Structure 1
Amino acid sequence: MRQLIIFILFTSLLVSCDFFKETDDRIRVARVGEKYLYEEDIKDLVAEGTPVNDSIQIISSFINRWATQQLLLAGSERNLSEQKQNDFNKLVEQYKNDLYTKAYLEALVKKSIDTSVNMTQAKEVYEANQETFKLNEELVKFRYITIPQNAINEDEIIKRFKRFNIEDKQFLDSISVQFKGYSLNDSLWIKASQITEKIAVLNSENKKELLKKSNFVQLKDSLDLYLMQIEDVLSQNDLAPLEYVKPTIKQIVINKRKLELIKQLEKDITKDAIKNKQFEVYQ
């Protein structure tokens, strides 16, 4: 009888252990030592519609890279000193902390930061940092048109392009489908290097001669006619116009606000934690 009771108790213990034992129903794909790669780890590797052979290659390469990484990791754990491993673990933990706190602070900043920068604020930054806004290369205000040589309405296009009143601009806009290239907005500052990219007949040799303030330029090559009207030019080391650098100034102002807001948020979070007795320093 006593043996029967012991048997029943032993059987119950086994059943209980088996009942509370965690089961893992995931489908295994590969194993390195005690580490497993599961089907769920590779299910999103291959885009829908990928050919079968390519899919096999992608998955096979991923499994091999995973195995190599696990083997190297196991080797490092066996061969690196305990002190070295502790140092690395601290770095990993610090990196994790930095990622989390940075993401959290950025989310808080995004909710409350003012991203508007008015002209008065922009001028203050501009005037206080003029050395920063010296030009590295020439800027030009100009308009241009590229048309095939001997176009039917070539003379009228040239006349209207040079005169360029409101009606002329509207006319040129209306026939712009005929142009091989064009820009009629001559109120924007553009880098001289961008102009040479757009207009093939301009090069380093003739650029300095042609890109002069209030200069009308008419050039030809074997196929096309190029019309340019230079409205204004700024040279290297000249002070960049405020309207040209305003996007940069806006970013400077916003970045400064971000830093100030982050410092304030950090102070407020710590202050609230002390007040709510979530943070205390023991003497």
Structure 2
Amino acid sequence: MFFRFKSLRPKGYSWMVLALFVVSCNSLWKDNSDEQPIARVGELYLFKEDIAPLLSNTMSKADSASFVTDYINNWASKQLLLSKAKINLSEDKLGEFDALVETYRTDLYTRAYKEALVQQGSDSVISQTQLETFYEKEKENFKLKEKLISLRFIHLPPQFMNKESVVEKLKRFKEDDIRYLDSIGVQFKKLNFNDSIWVTASRIRDEIPLLTLDNQDRYLKKSQFFELQDSLGVYLAKITGVLEINDIAPLSYIEPSIRQVLLNRRKLDYIRKLETEIIDEAIKEKEFEVYAQDK
């Protein structure tokens, strides 16, 4: 991931809920009086236009026919089973299932509506100051569970010429060295010159198969330069930084996670505000009342 590889005042919400309802119930209300059904189960009919959107233009006639047959049989099976279930299940069980369906329906609509409002009104920009403030406040919760390394790295092909020059410039890494290495970078199998980025030790082991859990501490030490070779080529690395397990993770490493946490918190706060404003507005407009109950 880090290596560069070469190889409320929510006005007007009612229309949104209505739109969701109309879409979901489209097949219930459509008029098929002029169309011939292709199958029937009891009083329910299946029409060609119900299946047409599911057919791909790339299907052969034989595949289309087979798909339609399977679809009709599956549809009929479900309708017949549903009919039998309504007859044979107890009233209590049917009522329980109906309540679950209604709860799911309500949750689906309200969740979609709230997500739409959040996208319209919630700020998705997290400033660097906000990231740093949260990091400083919570940094004790960001202890590492795996060793992190920053390094410069080159994977040379097996027959690469002038390896000594590359080694010298990777170690020294002055402006002229960087320009030279960049200019011949297309000859490398893999490279990473950005030694300000932290990567896990396991990721480095993936890139350098000769490194293992048993020997990594020998090579992954700060300021260490190492050269390893196998049939795939030569691995050159200069370690510029090491953070051990239980060290505090650097902000640059956990910034994406912090950003997501802050966005989620902001989203929840915005939704709570919307819910409160919806209730307040309904009370003001006398659309919502709570009646006193006798104790």
What is the alpha-carbon distance in structure 2 between the residues aligned to residue 23 and residue 55 of structure 1? 22
What is the alpha-carbon distance in structure 2 between the residues aligned to residue 249 and residue 23 of structure 1? 53
Q: What is the deviation of 1:226? A: 0.8
What is the alpha-carbon distance in structure 1 between the residues aligned to residue 61 and residue 32 of structure 2? 33
What is the alpha-carbon distance in structure 2 between the residues aligned to residue 244 and residue 27 of structure 1? 62
Equivalent residue for 1:199, pick from 208, 233, 236: 208
What is the alpha-carbon distance in structure 2 between the residues aligned to residue 123 and residue 194 of structure 1? 26
What is the alpha-carbon distance in structure 1 between the residues aligned to residue 193 and residue 240 of structure 2? 12
What is the alpha-carbon distance in structure 2 between the residues aligned to residue 66 and residue 99 of structure 1? 24
Q: What is aligned with 1:93?
A: 102
Q: What is the deviation of 1:101? A: 1.0
Note the residue ranges of structure 1 that are not aligned, 5 or more in a row: 1-21
What is the alpha-carbon distance in structure 1 between the residues aligned to residue 32 and residue 257 of structure 2? 57
RMSD: 1.9
TM-score, length basis structure 2: 0.82
Matches within 5 A, 1:1-283: 24-282=33-291
What is the alpha-carbon distance in structure 2 between the residues aligned to residue 191 and residue 126 of structure 1? 20
- Taking only the aligned residue pairs, the percentage that are identical comes to 45
CA contact (8 A) 1:29 1:38 kept: yes
Q: 1:26 to 1:196 in 2, by over 3 A?
A: farther
Between the two structures, name the one with larger relative contact order (CA 8 Å, sep ≥ 6). 2
Q: 1:206-261, CA deviations, whole angstroms, 9 ceiling, x for partnerless residues?
A: 22211111111101113411101111111222211111111111111111111111
Determine helix, strand or coil for the equivalent of 1:129: helix
Q: 1:123 to 1:47 in 2, by over 3 A?
A: same
Q: 1:60 to 1:167 in 2, by over 3 A?
A: farther
Q: How many residues align?
A: 262
Structure 1 residue ranges (4+ consecutive) displaced by more than 6 angstroms after TM superposition: none
Larger Rg: 1
Determine helix, strand or coil for the equivalent of 1:252: helix
What is the alpha-carbon distance in structure 1 between the residues aligned to residue 80 and residue 32 of structure 2? 26
Q: What is the deviation of 1:150? A: 4.0
What is the alpha-carbon distance in structure 2 between the residues aligned to residue 23 and residue 88 of structure 1? 30
Q: 1:54 to 1:209 in 2, by over 3 A?
A: farther
Note the residue ranges of structure 2 that are not aligned, 5 or more in a row: 1-30
Q: 1:54 to 1:184 in 2, by over 3 A?
A: farther
Q: 1:23 to 1:106 in 2, by over 3 A?
A: closer
What is the alpha-carbon distance in structure 2 between the residues aligned to residue 199 and residue 57 of structure 1? 51
TM-score, length basis structure 1: 0.85
CA contact (8 A) 1:45 1:59 kept: no
Q: 1:53 to 1:230 in 2, by over 3 A?
A: farther
